[in-house]
Structure 1
């Protein structure tokens, strides 16, 4: 019988897949990073326990094009500063990706809040535009002018916090106990430029990032970087405490009933 590719893989084939994955070369991305100060109460409101706010109510947005073999990957993240005990890092609320293959590993292995979307990074001379869009709405747009080159930072580590869980089959609660994941990224930068510009947040029922307004823009940069990541489960969390935040992960039709804050656009 000819090989049936949906059939079971041998131990040798499984081991070869792991080995090949461990030998991937550096993959470089070109991306925009914007950091701003926002409403501290809004940051506190989006953090599931046991995460807590840090001393600075910051938002960090990244919009990148990743140079993978084949069609380039568009990858984005909208995250708030958070702390788990003594560890400070970022808690992403939404991570738009342009390809299905980027969703699978991130969501199923690490618990990342990845969703299919549109990711744009465009440079025309010194002019720059970057955007994250879903459902026809560019809910984050960064635009400005590239001013000058910046000194290259030393290689750095960054921690992201994720909750890994599965909704219950019967629609009530979760099927298994959720866990908190620390994902550590080690980043190297080979080019970095300063951008003078602005961040525009647009109202979107499924991606309500406008609730975390730009009160004071810290910086916008354009850079080329590569990174690797490793994750570990650090704590099992209370499913009842996490349930009120599960809609962050999925496009819940009931979100259409959520009105923006009073006075919002």
Structure 2
């Protein structure tokens, strides 16, 4: 019988796949990172328990082109500063990726809030533009000009927080208790430059980052880096506490019923530094 490709794989095939994945080379990316201060109450509002705000209400937009062999990847995230106990890190609200392969492992293994989207990183001489777009809307755009080199930072360990869960098969709740994941990344940087510019946030029903207005721009950089990552389950969390935040993960058409944007709250969202 000819091989049935949907059939079970042998132990040898599974072992060979694990061995190949364990010997991946360093994968470098070129990315723009913008960090700004927003309103403290907004950061507190988007954090599911047991995450809590940190001392500074920071937002980080990371927009990168990743040099994956054979299929270059655009990858981005918009995250807020958060703490779990005495560990501080970032809680991503949305992570656009340019192809499905990048979604699968992150969402199914770590619980990352990845969605298909468009990711742009452009540099023409000193002029830089980077953007995250979905549904025809560039909901985050970072633009500016390179104003000089920055010292290379030492290798650093960074933590992202994710919630891993499966929506209930009967249409409500979860199939099992959700878990809070600590995803620890070891980051090395080989090039880093300062960018003088601004951050533009545009209203999007599906990616409402305009709710995180730029009150004070902290920094914009462009650089080349490589990271590895390892996830651990930190604790099981209350399904009741997490359910009100599940819409963060999905494009929910019912969000249109939330009403129009409150411009008094979002004033300054499309400006650079406040």
Counterpart check, 1:217 vs 2:217: yes
Q: Deviations over 1:48-89 (max 9, x none)?
A: 000000001000110000000123100000000000000000
Corresponding residue of 1:261: 262
Cα displacement (A) at 1:15: 1.2
Counterpart check, 1:112 vs 2:106: no
Cα displacement (A) at 1:13: 1.1
Cα displacement (A) at 1:261: 2.9
Cα displacement (A) at 1:213: 0.4
Cα displacement (A) at 1:2: 1.4
Q: Is the 8 A contact 1:205 1:258 kept in 2?
A: no
Q: What does residue range 125-204 of structure 1 map to in structure 2 within 5 Å?
A: 125-204=125-204
Which consecutive residues of structure 2, in runs of 5 or more, have no partner in the other structure? 268-274
Name the SS for the 1:42 alignment partner: helix
Q: Deviations over 1:227-261 (max 9, x none)?
A: 00000001000101100000000001111112323
Q: Deviations over 1:21-52 (max 9, x none)?
A: 01000000000000000000000000000000
Corresponding residue of 2:272: none
Corresponding residue of 1:41: 41
**Take 1:181 and 1:12, find their aligned partners in 2: how far apart are those partners?**
31
**Take 1:117 and 1:2, find their aligned partners in 2: how far apart are those partners?**
39
Corresponding residue of 1:22: 22
Cα displacement (A) at 1:262: 4.7
Corresponding residue of 2:270: none
Corresponding residue of 1:70: 70
Q: Deviations over 1:181-203 (max 9, x none)?
A: 00000000000000000000000
Give the alignment's TM-score, normalised by structure 1. Answer: 0.98
Cα RMSD, aligned residues only: 0.9
Q: Is the 8 A contact 1:27 1:227 kept in 2?
A: yes
**Take 2:83 and 2:95, find their aligned partners in 1: how far apart are those partners?**
19
Which consecutive residues of structure 1, in runs of 5 or more, have no partner in the other structure? none
Counterpart check, 1:236 vs 2:236: yes
**Take 2:71 and 2:100, find their aligned partners in 1: how far apart are those partners?**
12
Name the SS for the 2:71 alignment partner: coil
